[in-house]
Structure 1
Amino acid sequence: MSTKILSNKDNLQVLYEDNHIIVVNKRAGDIVQGDKTGDTPLSDVVKAYIKYKYNKPGNVYLGTVHRLDRPTTGIVMFAKTSKALPRLNKLFLSKEVKKTYWAVVKKPPSKPEDTLIHWLKKNPKNNKSYAHQKQVKDSKKAILHYKIIKKLDNYTLLEVNLETGRHHQIRTQLSQIGSPIKGDLKYGFERSNKDASIHLHARQIEFMHPVKKEPVSLVAPTPNDVIWDACI
């Protein structure tokens, strides 16, 4: 196991862990699963953490349940057992997991709260989704609910709840109504953040534990950043 992975595990912020699941607070720039970049994925970092913490011989089992975009921060959950993985997948598919996001935008939406419905079509060539008011070929319906929860000096904090889970959904839909997320050049913000992050944070997750059958509610601290600090 590489030195890089072993050093990264020491920076891992674990929000919750038991025998069946582990939930971490992802940093901007981390990729959840391996891709063509060849960069170390968060899943490998979590495996290294588990292997070291419990002195496990051999390979460590870890199932990826959902993902976050690379520049996004916040809650990511993994399954530690083959028993938990299909149960967690079922919870996500049946929309029994409630995920709450925070998004910082410069131009506030025209309404203090609203439901946005678009048809999103992904272009794999530039890894970008495009929003349409009506269904077009190969598009998927996207629904989210937002509300303004705080006005900052130059920005606005939105709370977002997804009803569907589409590619770049929050980024695409907020951009479509003229409120791109701070730092998100790809979706129309005027400039990038210095660390290549965007101000989109998976803030909270609520679900029924797949094995213990007990409710779990977790909140991920926001990154150490002037804008995020003003949101708290």
Structure 2
Amino acid sequence: MSKDKIISHKNNLQVIYEDNHIIIVNKRAGDIVQGDKTGDKPLSDVVKDYIKDKYNKPGNVYLGVVHRLDRPTTGIVLFSKTSKALPRLNKLFAEKKAKKTYWAIVKQPPEPVQNTLIHWLKKNPKNNKSTAYTKEVKDSKKAILHYKTIKSLDNYVLLEVELETGRHHQIRSQLSSIGSPIKGDLKYGFERSNKDAGISLHARRLEFVHPVSKEIINVTAPLPNDPIWKACDD
């Protein structure tokens, strides 16, 4: 099943797909998936408000966080609406049975135009940044992604990225390490920020087997409302 209809909510929530067990939303740049030390309202709470409002639910609303996106990143985030679905979804993601596809805009075209990147990433908690090494180092984790150039723009190129592993800041760190930092990503070497303080990395598609119905769910997140992203979709 492919679902790409967007439902707008009063909190500017974009719902891509929803049924009794799961809900998939299109995250905006700047939204945090779960609460952190900033105290900003997380996307998980916005989704709870949406469910509570839509179904007139009394009391607390159950919502399970299945995976996360970095705060400046946009695109697909999947939540579980039931305690039955959550462990099944967690298992599916842990076993890498969910196919995640990202789009990234970079200024420097990578060479070759299509490749598999293998690095060892080491996270520095002090600056919340991961460094990519070509050989294994202490406390590093192996990171594998596949990229291909799918469109040339006036001053940028659009890459499609598929993750084989899910490491901290993996796409951002690995693309930066080959000289192609993501547009707007100051932390990983891009020269200036985007106007919305986000980065041009978008969780574009997600495909997985539904944890209860066993149906194939295939969703695509519409691109951000930005001239460069719009050029990618032409």
Q: TM-score range by the shorter chain?
A: over 0.9
Q: Could you tell me how far 1:194 is from its partner in structure 2? A: 1.3
Gap runs ≥5 in structure 2: 1-8
- Partner-residue secondary structure (3-state), 1:45: helix
2:182 corresponds to 1:181: yes
The structure 1 segments of at least 4 consecutive aligned residues displaced by more than 4 Å after TM superposition are: none
2:92 corresponds to 1:83: no
Q: Distance in 1 between matches of 2:158 and 2:73?
A: 15
Question: 1:208-227 residue pairs with structure 2 within 5 A?
Answer: 208-227=209-228
For 2:194, the aligned partner's letter is N
Q: Distance in 1 between matches of 2:45 and 2:10?
A: 9
- Partner-residue secondary structure (3-state), 2:92: helix
Do 1:9 and 1:46's aligned partners in 2 also have CA atoms closer than 8 Å? no
For 2:112, the aligned partner's letter is K
Residue in 2 aligned with 1:5? none
Residue in 2 aligned with 1:97? 98
Do 1:22 and 1:79's aligned partners in 2 also have CA atoms closer than 8 Å? yes
Q: Over aligned residues, Cα RMSD in angstroms?
A: 1.0
Residue in 1 aligned with 2:19? 18
Residue in 1 aligned with 2:71? 70
Question: 1:168-207 residue pairs with structure 2 within 5 A?
Answer: 168-207=169-208
Gap runs ≥5 in structure 1: 1-7
Q: Could you tell me how far 1:112 is from its partner in structure 2? A: 1.1
Do 1:9 and 1:48's aligned partners in 2 also have CA atoms closer than 8 Å? no
**Percent identity of equivalent pairs:** 80
Q: Distance in 2 between matches of 1:65 and 1:9?
A: 24
Do 1:207 and 1:215's aligned partners in 2 also have CA atoms closer than 8 Å? yes
TM-score normalized with structure 1 length: 0.96
Q: Distance in 1 between matches of 2:58 and 2:195?
A: 40
Residue in 2 aligned with 1:161? 162
Q: Distance in 2 between matches of 1:26 and 1:107?
A: 26
Q: Report the number of matched residues.
A: 226
Residue in 1 aligned with 2:49? 48
Residue in 1 aligned with 2:4? none
Residue in 1 aligned with 2:111? 110
Residue in 2 aligned with 1:38? 39
For 1:54, the aligned partner's letter is Y
Deviation track 1:6-65 (CA, whole Å, cap 9, x = no partner) reads xx8531000000000000000000000000000000000000000000000010000000
Do 2:106 and 2:156's aligned partners in 1 also have CA atoms closer than 8 Å? yes
Deviation track 1:134-164 (CA, whole Å, cap 9, x = no partner) reads 1111000000000000000100000000000
For 1:167, the aligned partner's letter is H
